[in-house]
Structure 1
Amino acid sequence: MRLSPEQQTIIRDEVARAFGPDARVRLFGSRTDDTARGGDIDLYVEADGTPDDLLERELKLHAALQRRLGERRVDLVVHRRGSPPRSIDTHAQRTGLPL
């Protein structure tokens, strides 16, 4: 995993702040490959809420991560717990690493 322990802590803290303590977050994509270089930070978040509520929380999370992680590209995929999985949800759940 190509995130520092500090970055992992920041991500976990901000996800909990935005979505609550029951939210789950996984890192997926190129940052899970220790042999690769560069790449954006792809995060998969699974949480409870209405679609409108989750969108608002996603935007707040993105802003908080930009402030705390700096000018890194962060891509968020938010899945409403209990809703049918999309292909990106299945991929992130299968290949992602829990934070």
Structure 2
Amino acid sequence: MRLTPEQVAIIKQAAVEVFGDGVSVKLFGSRLDDAVRGGDIDLLLESPDVIESRMDKMLTLTARLQIRLGDQPIDILVVDPSTPRKPYQHALATAVTLP
């Protein structure tokens, strides 16, 4: 995993601030591969509850992470009970929960 412990802590804290304590934060994509360089930070957030104002919260989280981590590309997928799983199958199958 190509995130420092400090980056992981920042991501988890910001996710809880925006989405609440019940959110699970996972990483997927190229940042899981230690042999690759670069790439955006692909995050999958899972919530047991339906998330209201999903887009507003995604944008808020993206902005907070860019301020705290520096201006870098961040992609966020949010999955809750109302989300169809099919478009997110790859992310759901490969994502790793942040420690």
Q: TM-score, normalised by structure 2?
A: 0.89
Q: What CA deviation, in whole Å up to 9, does each residue of 1:45-94 have, x standing for no partner? A: 112334x511111111011001000011101111223432133x221111
Correspondences of 1:13-52 after superposition (within 5 Å) = 13-47=13-47, 48-50=49-51
Distance 2:86 2:58 in 1: 17
- 1:91 paired to 2:90: yes
Contact 2:16–2:23 under 8 Å retained in 1: yes
Unmatched 5+ stretches in structure 2 = none
Distance 2:15 2:26 in 1: 11
Q: Which runs of 4+ in 1 moved over 6 A?
A: none
Contact 1:26–1:92 under 8 Å retained in 2: no
* C-alpha displacement of 1:25: 1.2
Matched residue pairs, number?
97
Once superposed, what is the RMSD of the aligned Cα atoms?
A: 1.4
Distance 1:53 1:17 in 2: 14
Distance 2:86 2:61 in 1: 21
Instruction: State the SS of the aligned residue for 1:26.
Output: strand
Instruction: State the SS of the aligned residue for 2:53.
Output: helix
Contact 2:50–2:82 under 8 Å retained in 1: no
Distance 2:32 2:79 in 1: 20
Deviates more, 1:30-39 or 1:78-87: 78-87
Q: TM-score, normalised by structure 1?
A: 0.89
Distance 2:36 2:30 in 1: 7
